Amino acid sequence: MKEIYGLNLFIRHNIFGNLSKSLTSKSSLFWTIYLPSFLLTFSISLLIPILPSFIKQMNVGVGLIGLGISAVLIGNMLFDVPVGLIISKQGKKRSMFLGTLLMIAFPLLIVINDNFSIFFILRFFVGGAIALWSISRMSYVAHLVPVNNRGRVLATLGGVHRIGMFFGPVIGGIVGASLGFNSVFILQSVICFFTLFIIIFIVKEDSDLEIDMDTQNEIKLSFFNLIKSQGRVLLIAGSAAVVLNFVRKSKEIVIPLWGTYLNLGVDEIGLIIGAAAAVDLIMFVPAGIVMDKWGRKLMSVPSCIFFAFGFILLPLSNDVTTFTLVSLLTGFANGLGSGSLMTLGTDLAPKLNTGEFLGVWRLMGDMGAASGPIFVGQIAIVSLSLSSILVALFSLAGAFLFIFGVPETLKKVKD
């Protein structure tokens, strides 16, 4: 037994240890950050096309179908702060491992369940698992990647997220139609299982990350002292994050509704939104370069301004051509901000309280994302044009906050 245990330690610390060191270099972020993020985003988005029909099989009404779909979002938001505290106690790698492990288990439990209440609870905790993974990943990047490279890394991460969200629903729909809904949940677990191996053998240990960080002038704070010391930053920069996420999510409601208002077909609206998404996707590379070379705000501010232009022009579009141009403009605006909030959050996070800070930061962003569609939907009942103009005003308010209230975090780096 001792010989077997010794062999296991030798394999882990020598073979996989050397592999981990080689693959976590700056040139190998693909393995440690991008690939796991793509796999998990892809696996999560697999369920988008099949989830309403899957819930409907439980003999529930439309209202509960909507609630069931929202369970992940609710769990994600409510777990943001608690998982930040967990990451502080358990560490980044262990938290990523735990989040991924839960994302393996919960879909399999859903497959063997046919009760809506249990389904809702399981999906609620899936949201918590996603929050645990996402915040620990951001904390990992904050400790692994130097400030002057962080914009490119996180803008690329935003692009990877968009690619996963694009392909996931396509594959999920095909698998669900050909093999049944349960097979999509199983596929999700299988993909998360492979991601778990990457985390175990390639992702750096927390002790290796801390060596690279200068924490000499910092002390670890309790959660309440952290909120007190970072209160002004969270209030102003966090408000800017709330506004930008509010606008981003509002776009997903206002654009399709205006296409419907113009009597365009679902296929036409889908193609136009797809074209806007393509413009969004190609912007993550230049956005990252600009953030690292000239500053974070140089992407956040134009993103808000172009959003404002798009939403002001939307009520003036009266045919498919002008509607397409406005949609492309909003896609361009969204692409400009690729990774900007993640970069700003990781820059602002205290080195010894990264998890807790990013938990609060993400909560504020999620609040903006959750409130956008609700606000727009209610205003659209009165006037869709009015809702678009109000979103434009929010965009301008976001630009104002970024210009005058949010510090430029890139200036901390000296060549």
Domains of the chain with bracketed CATH: 32-206 (1.20.1250.20), 223-409 (1.20.1250.20)
Output the six-digit token pair for 70. 């929202």
Query: Could you read off the pLDDT of 56-112 as tens digits, one per residue?
Result: 899 888 778 888 888 998 999 999 999 999 998 899 999 999 999 999 999 999 999
Query: Could you read off the pLDDT of 102-151 as tens digits, one per residue?
Result: 999 999 999 999 899 999 999 999 999 999 999 999 999 988 888 888 99
- Which pLDDT value is given to residue 10? 39
Q: Of 87, 73, 91, 168, nearest to 128 (Cα)?
A: 73
- Which pLDDT value is given to residue 8? 41
Give the residue ranges of the chain where pLDDT is below 70: 1-27, 207-218, 411-415
Could you tell me the pTM of the whole model?
0.85
Secondary structure class of 263 (helix, strand, coil): coil
- One DSSP character per residue, 73-111 reads HHHHHHHHHHHHHHHHHH-HHHHHHHHHHHHHHHHHHHH
Non-local CB neighbours of 271 within 8 Å, separated by 6+ positions: none
Q: Of 342, 346, 361, nearest to 287 (Cα)?
A: 342
- Which pLDDT value is given to residue 208? 65
- Which pLDDT value is given to residue 218? 66
- Which pLDDT value is given to residue 217? 58
CA 3 to chain centroid, in Å, comes to 45
